[in-house]
Amino acid sequence: MDHIVLDLESQHEFSEVGGRDYPHLLKVSIVCCYSYAQDKFLAFEEHELGELEALLKNAGLIIGFNTKYFDYQVLQPYMKEIVLKDLPSCDLMEDVTNILGHRLSLDSIAQATLGTQKSGHGLDAIRYFREGNMEALRKYCIDDVRITRDVFEYGKTHGNVKYSSKYQPDKPLSVPVDWKQYAFHRDGDAAPMPAAAQTNPIVSEEESATPNVNPQTGNYSLF
């Protein structure tokens, strides 16, 4: 079964929908994915989410960063057949948080692990959507998917990912991860690591970049 790396962007900010208790009101502007089975990136705008649901319904694993507490909650109102939280998932942020006891941003991990950083901020994505610049929005979201995939591949291969501490920014620290268990197999053979992940890791953004939220409610987002 396919493994899918997923990221989405919203149409609204939390401040526009009454706060972080209402992620289901944010609405989707775009969802981008990387399909291991197809070895390509896919993009779905709001009117195409039925196609996305069919893809996710048949996935053996969904990989993301803060997927359970942000992406799934924003996306669930569009789903007609599946309950996203019940799908097999690997939420990279959740795994790292469970070990460290505090959150890290995707950028913090990508910069220290892969020497790469995000191409912008979530508010940029909202601006692109409102300007009707879907090409820029698609590129931004796919960049996030690529970074998430490469962080996952690095952790799967090396058994850890790195991050920068604000107290020792020049000395990356590492956190162990058990992502090898999620190896994707195509036709009975382990799929090769995507080319981008074979070279440099992907991580950046400051530690604890998100506001304090209750992870039980899932009302927070890391852009």
Q: Mean pLDDT for the chain?
A: 85
Question: Does residue 221 sit within a domain?
Answer: no
* Predicted model pTM: 0.82
Question: Does residue 210 sit within a domain?
Answer: no
The torsion region of residue 19 among left (phi > 0), alpha (psi -120 to 50) and beta comes to left
Question: Does residue 182 sit within a domain?
Answer: yes
Q: What is the mean pLDDT of residues 10-25?
A: 96
Q: What is the CATH number of the domain that holds 84?
A: 3.30.420.10
Domain of 25 in residue numbering reads as: 2-198
- Please check the confidence at residue 198 and state whether its pLDDT lies above 50: no
Residues 220-223: contacts with CB within 8 Å, 24+ apart?
A: 220/20, 220/66, 220/69, 220/70, 221/14, 221/20, 221/23, 221/66, 221/69, 221/70, 221/122, 222/65, 222/66, 222/70, 222/93, 222/103, 222/105, 222/106, 223/121, 223/122, 223/123, 223/125
What's the pLDDT score for residue 186? 67
Question: Does residue 211 sit within a domain?
Answer: no
Question: Does residue 26 sit within a domain?
Answer: yes
What's the pLDDT score for residue 200? 33
Tens of pLDDT, residues 108-159: 999 999 999 887 777 999 999 999 999 999 999 999 999 999 999 999 999 9
Question: Does residue 79 sit within a domain?
Answer: yes
Tens of pLDDT, residues 44-103: 999 999 999 999 999 999 999 999 999 999 999 999 999 999 999 999 999 999 999 999
